[in-house]
Structure 1
Amino acid sequence: MTSAVAPGLTAAWAVLPGGTVVDERAVDGLGVLTTSVLDLDADLPTLHAWCTARGTEFWGLQHLTADELRETYAFVDGLEHHHALLSRVDGVPVALVQVYEPAHDPVGEVYDVQPGDLGVHVLVGARPPGCERGFSQRLLLALVQVAAETTGATRIVGEPDARNTAMLRRAELLGAVLGPEVDLPTKRARLTFLPVRPPSP
């Protein structure tokens, strides 16, 4: 495994240019998983196709044009505590990952943020040809590990739409504990909390 981000410093991503690899690892049952800072120029067509596809209504971006989506992620790119990443398996784009510090996000106003908490959103956008059964769950587990190990997080916090029962089931399968339903600016959400081991020294 290689990492370009110092443990515990999520803000370090804010100064990395788009396309910078922040983690690369071989994952059993997946292949080589590479996670990079989102490159708005190179990745926008892929990102727009994913965000506007059927079944992504809970992501909340289906109505945006490509230019509007670019503006949305350009704003994210300018934030110090909220970062967009793109993950690939064997070079094929498979997921958008948004990582953020809950204390600097509206979710931090609806629960008691603990040291080591890290917020993570994942949109699985594609499956490589010939991928094995259970690909999405293995990918989610690997991405949680990437997020934790590259930041030093000890707990992953999720906030899926309360109606998104499929994602809530996936969170529980990963080992997350379901928390309360809360009102956020854009949705009624269900909090999830997944304890993770800190990286080895």
Structure 2
Amino acid sequence: MTSTAATARGPVHTQAVDGFGTVTLTPVDPAADAPLIHRWVSEDRARFWGMTEAGPDLVREVYEDLDRRTTHHAFLARRDGVPVALFQTYECTADRVSECYEARPGDTGVHLLLAPAAGAAEPGFSGRLIGAFMAFVFSDGTTRRLVADPDARNAKAIARLERSGFALGPEVELPEIVLPETRIPAKRARLAFYEAPGTPAR
């Protein structure tokens, strides 16, 4: 069961996942959500997210910048009301990744940061969550392919993408970006692609 009806800072996607719970995606509210996001990104386990040294104010400013954009979006994912992940989408043609491969119409980039586990690892947790994220992105009717660009050193993320059906692409150098709020350094990344069901082979 899926719903994409949006309200101001209310869920834009609600999906009941059998044996897992109800997953909701809500646009990040920079003022309200920055403290939680800061706790997540400042842990060593999130080092590949690139914000371990960022303070709470900088985290808020970064997500305020994302909130102003029409091409980039950030969402808090909750399972049965509990925050479990930060999920971001973006139009590849409006992002630095487009300098590293031949972007196609309908390419949507995705970033995922899982929250710290509350207890023992739950088998199948990330796979079911990613399945809900993919259902959300493809529901817009315009996305034809998902593009991921995890840090090339992040073996866990790359393996997770492969398990979710992504095809690995080349290793590339994402160029540096300088924003008013912060500098995003250049990064070696491994591209990965997931074609929408029914997409003709090329």
TM-score range, shorter chain: 0.7 to 0.9
Letter of the 1:73 partner, please give it.
Y
Q: Describe the superposition over 1:80-111 as per-residue Cα deviations: whole angstroms up to 9, x where unpaired.
A: 10011111000000111110000011111111
Q: In 1, Cα distance between the equivalents of 2:141 and 2:43?
A: 31
**Hey, what does 1:2 align to over in structure 2?**
3
SS at match of 1:55: helix
The answer to whether residue 83 in structure 2 is matched with residue 82 in structure 1 is no
**Hey, what does 1:190 align to over in structure 2?**
190
In the TM superposition, what are the counterparts of 1:123-142 in structure 2 within 5 Å? 123-127=113-117, 132-142=122-132
Contact 1:40 1:73 in 2 (8 A): yes
Mind listing any 5+ residue stretches in structure 2 that lack a counterpart?
Answer: 176-185
In the TM superposition, what are the counterparts of 1:6-21 in structure 2 within 5 Å? 17=8, 19-21=9-11
The answer to whether residue 173 in structure 2 is matched with residue 179 in structure 1 is no
**Hey, what does 1:121 align to over in structure 2?**
111
Letter of the 2:14 partner, please give it.
E
SS at match of 2:37: helix
In the TM superposition, what are the counterparts of 1:1-201 in structure 2 within 5 Å? 1-4=2-5, 17=8, 19-127=9-117, 132-150=122-140, 152-185=142-175, 186-197=186-197
SS at match of 1:122: strand
Q: In 1, Cα distance between the equivalents of 2:169 and 2:95?
A: 18
Q: Which has the higher contact order (CA 8 A, sep 6+)?
A: 1
Classify 1:57/1:49 alpha carbon distance in 2 versus 1 (closer, same or farther; 3 Å): same
Contact 2:15 2:132 in 1 (8 A): no
Q: Describe the superposition over 1:109-131 as per-residue Cα deviations: whole angstroms up to 9, x where unpaired.
A: 11111122110001011446688
Q: In 1, Cα distance between the equivalents of 2:119 and 2:164?
A: 24
Classify 1:108/1:77 alpha carbon distance in 2 versus 1 (closer, same or farther; 3 Å): same
Classify 1:108/1:56 alpha carbon distance in 2 versus 1 (closer, same or farther; 3 Å): same
The alpha-carbon deviation at position 45 of structure 1 amounts to 1.7
Instruction: Report the aligned-residue RMSD.
Output: 1.9
Aligned residues: 187
Mind listing any 5+ residue stretches in structure 1 that lack a counterpart?
Answer: 6-15
Give me the identity figure in percent: 42
TM-score normalised by L of structure 2:
0.86
Letter of the 2:72 partner, please give it.
H
Contact 2:3 2:15 in 1 (8 A): yes
